[in-house]
Structure 1
Amino acid sequence: MDELLTRITAETGLDTATAKRAVGSILAFLSAESDDPAVGTMIKETPGAEDAMAATGGDAYSGGGIMALGAGLMGMGLDMGQIQTVAQDLVAYSKIHAGADTVDRVIASVPGLAQFV
Structure 2
Amino acid sequence: MEELVNRLSAAADIDRSKAESAVKTILVFLDKEAPADAVKQLVDAMPGAEPVLAEARKEHEGDGYVGFGAMAAYHALTAAGLSGGEVQIVTKELLAFSRDAVGDETTGRIVGSVPGLEAFV
- TM-score normalised to the size of structure 1? 0.79
| 1:1-117 matches, cutoff 5 A | 1-35=1-35, 37-54=37-54, 56=56, 58-59=59-60, 62-64=64-66, 65=68, 66-117=70-121
Secondary structure of 2:82's partner? coil
Contact 2:11 2:93 (C-alpha < 8 Å) held by counterparts: no
Q: How many residues align?
A: 117
Identity fraction in percent: 36
Contact 1:24 1:54 (C-alpha < 8 Å) held by counterparts: no
Contact 1:32 1:63 (C-alpha < 8 Å) held by counterparts: no
Distance (whole Å) between structure 1 residues aligned to residue 93 and residue 114 of structure 2: 18
Q: Deviations over 1:78-107 (max 9, x none)?
A: 111100111111111121111221111111
Report the CA distance shift for 1:84/1:100 in structure 2 as closer, same or farther (over 3 A).
Answer: same
Distance (whole Å) between structure 2 residues aligned to residue 76 and residue 5 of structure 1: 15
What is the aligned-residue RMSD (CA, Å)? 2.4
Higher deviation after alignment, 96-105 or 49-58: 49-58
Structure 1 residue runs of 5 or longer lacking an equivalent are none
